[in-house]
Amino acid sequence: MTTKLFIQLIILLLITLIMAIFYLFFFKTDKDYFERNKIDLNNQINNKIIDLKYTADDKEGNVYIVNSEYGEISDLNENLLKLQNVNAIIKFKNSNDVIIKSKFADYNKLTLDTFFYENVRLTHDIHVVTSEKMFLNYSDKNINIQKNVVYKGNNNTLLADIVEIDLVTKFSRIYMLDELTKVKVNIKNGNN
């Protein structure tokens, strides 16, 4: 019996050794594989996305399209995209399009809210507004335009600190931050 017991112990030892080698070889390799892929995925997230386009529509039939040459996911919020060279269009069902251009924008993929900044230009019909900052609250259909605001339309020019526009009612509020400073308006009629 001792020979039989000795052979069984050797077989058991070989099986244990094979299982240990199998475990260390395959599971350690898989872990390293996943670690390498995790690093590659993080590098892809930090890279810029080229020719980015987002399209969304709401229950009223309006469409919001945002295009940019470059974009990247914010380090602070995965739903926030940092965009460069931005063109956006709001296509209203019962009105003309609103076109927005800017050098940069922060676009929230969930709410569609967009903060445009640097060389901002909003165009609607014959109306053109330029500024350095503009916030579009898409769900409420409100726009807040600030810093070096210049409005041009119908041969008229207006300079203000802030312009607020309700895109549904088309009501605008134009004012200066300092109550003692007045909005500057240059009105030209057909004779001037």
Predicted local confidence at residue 44, as pLDDT: 42
The three-state secondary structure class of 110 is coil
> 55-101: per-residue pLDDT in tens?
888 888 888 899 999 888 888 888 888 999 999 998 888 788 889 99
Tell me the C-alpha distance between 119 and 137, whole Å. Answer: 19
d(CA 99, CA 134): 13
Contact indicator for 185, 158 with CB cutoff of 8 Å: yes
- Those residues whose C-beta lies under 8 Å from the C-beta of residue 168, and which sit 6 or more positions away, are 141
Whether the predicted pLDDT of 162 surpasses 80: yes
Give the pLDDT of residue 43: 38
